[in-house]
Amino acid sequence: GENVEQHPSTLSVQEGDSAVIKCTYSDSASNYFPWYKQELGKRPQLIIDIRSNVGEKKDQRIAVTLNKTAKHFSLHITETQPEDSAVYFCAATYQAGTALIFGKGTTLSVSS
């Protein structure tokens, strides 16, 4: 089955800096790669996603890149703000109707 590795487990940046979180996946059949932000005690919130037919996607300060050959994808947050502090999870799945497999998460701390 699919296995998703995520790094780093913790990341501390200064406000205004960029943050990058990286994930690798094992199943070459996976074709959907979402990123979630989770605040303490709350459900994961989808912040951006990418499908395997696209190499990069951007939404304001957030971008995701995908390298299918290497089987890795990354989340990029620019101009970080204290409210970006949370736990971020990457995930992968290979078809509609199948469960997401999550990475172990990255705790991002943005200090002002």
Partner 1 sequence: GAVVSQHPSWVICKSGTSVKIECRSLDFQATTMFWYRQFPKQSLMLMATSNEGSKATYEQGVEKDKFLINHASLTLSTLTVTSAHPEDSSFYICSPNVAGGSYNEQFFGPGTRLTVL
Query: Where do contacts with partner 1 occur on this chain (CB under 8 A)?
Result: 31-32, 34, 41-44, 46, 49, 51, 89, 93, 95-105
Q: Which is nearer to partner 1, 14 or 42 (CB)?
A: 42
In this structure, the number of other CB atoms found within 10 A of the CB of residue 23 comes to 26
Residue closer to partner 1, measured from CB, 52 or 78? 52
| Residue 82 DSSP SS3 | helix
d(CA 61, CA 83): 13
- Least distance to partner 1, CB of residue 79, Å: 26
Using the minimum distance from each CB to partner 1, give the nearer residue, 43 or 112. Answer: 43
Q: Which residue has the tokens 């799945």?
A: 93
